Amino acid sequence: MKTLLTNAWLVTVDAAMTEHRTGWLMVEDGRIAALGGGAPPQVSAGTQVRDMAGDIVMPGMVNPHCHMAMSLFRGLGEDVDDRLFRYMLPLERKFVSPEMVRVGSTLSALEMIMGGVTCVAEMYYHETEVADVIMASGMRGVVGQTLADFDPPDHRSFDEGFALCDALAGHCAGMDRVTAAIAPHAPYSTGMAVMERAALWHEAHQDTRLMIHLAETVAEVDWAVQTHGMTTTAVCAAAGVLKPGAIAAHALLLEDADIDILASTGTGVAHNARSNGKAGRGIARIEDMRRAGIPVGIATDGPMSGNTLDLFSQFGVVSIFGKLRGGSRKPLPTRDVIRMATIEGARVLGLEAQTGSLEVGKAADLIRIDLSAPRMQPIYDPYSVLVFAAMPTDVRDVMVDGVWLMRDRAVETLEPARVLADANQVAGRFRAEIVAIDAARAAKG
């Protein structure tokens, strides 16, 4: 099948940031076969031709850090200080199952597709279920099996956890859009020996990735200093988990030497500005990291932490935080934000040869942004509009590998009504358990 998109404002996000104000793009066998400006080429019979009506056509966005199944916890205990121990951990231990992960991950896939995210990196539990959800949804993804020492719901020992990583790698081996990863939760929740073992596992399994939460909290940094006499980043470097193919989520509390470590090891960073800010944890040194050559992508974190899984909700926060840190309007300009959301996020995941920009030979992973809303006009600079005015509802069409996942706001790979019904059924169980938890707490006084 060939598809020709005409009358498109092409925002390619290639190395030169090429734009074609009135452009066209040809898709053939799932790849971008040609693109340009002006009059489109003549096409053969059977080619699907779609007029983009002057709307922006840009690369699908990349979310390099997420916990998809946790969409079912969204908004739970929002203003409760001890919600982690009061609600979250008891609910996870009682209810996280393959079914729950499938239902929550499907809800997240639906939300991301409708918000223009075509590629996601995710870490949680029962990750073979998540891999299947991503394949069924039509998205592209990296899925990481979490390893942790806090009695996680799918393994009771690290040996069991590593066996799950082996199973995940085998499960994903034949998938063309999903890559497996090993995901030691964090330095403090795994320890040096487990991180060293995870690094060796990654080396032994070709075409996998390694994910870890890094330098996210003051408690983590204090743990590293007290336990190892060095920063948490240095601890991870000593364990060997910082390397090409590694994805460090947050990287919030960094010293200059830590930035040098991340740059020299080829580690990518997933920046979670909204989640960090909502937790009152601070503003990451994004400009410093990018100047050092570290690829930084824009991520949502889990929907329990950041609530939404569209990147549009992140853009303004990312740019504004950078400006506040720098004391000027200049840091993190809108072009850089869009690069971080697309090609730079793809670099973080090691997928930049496949996705992240509109270039001949790359996968046809693209989205269409409707420009008809009053808040989108007038347009002096498309990047400014995308960062500070656009919303998920402006995403009209979504394509991955040349296949339409959404056309005219209608998702074609998932059944939205069923997805929402399944999610609310699970949420009903959570509500009943929360009532029981609160009643037991009140009885104790």
Cβ partners under 8 Å of residue 122, min gap 6: 65, 66, 67, 68, 105, 130, 141, 142, 143, 144
Give the pLDDT score at 329.
96
What separation in angstroms does the CA of 340 have from each of 12, 165, 275, 286, 370?
13, 29, 17, 11, 21
Whether the pTM exceeds 0.95: the reply is yes
Backbone angles phi, psi at 414, to 5 degrees: -130, 165
Give the pLDDT score at 14.
98
Low-confidence stretches of the chain (pLDDT beneath 50): none
Residue labelled with tokens 């005015």: 389
pLDDT in tens, 344-389: 999 999 999 999 999 999 999 999 999 999 999 999 999 999 999 9
Give the pLDDT score at 425.
97
Look at residues 322, 235, 329, 328 and name the one whose alpha carbon lies nearest to residue 287. 322
Q: How many other CB atoms are found less than 10 A from the CB of residue 216?
A: 27
Strands 48-51 and 2-11 turn out to be: parallel
Q: Which residues share a beta bridge with 296?
A: 269
Q: For residue 157, count CB atoms less than 10 angstroms from its CB and return exposed for 0-12, middle for 13-18, buried for 19 or more.
A: exposed
Backbone angles phi, psi at 59, to 5 degrees: -65, 145
| Chain mean position to CA 166 | 23
Give the pLDDT score at 84.
79
Q: Which residues share a beta bridge with 3?
A: 27, 48
Q: For residue 429, count CB atoms less than 10 angstroms from its CB and return exposed for 0-12, middle for 13-18, buried for 19 or more.
A: middle
Give the pLDDT score at 22.
97
pLDDT in tens, 51-69: 999 999 999 999 999 999 9
Residue 6 near residue 51, CB atoms below 8 Å:
yes
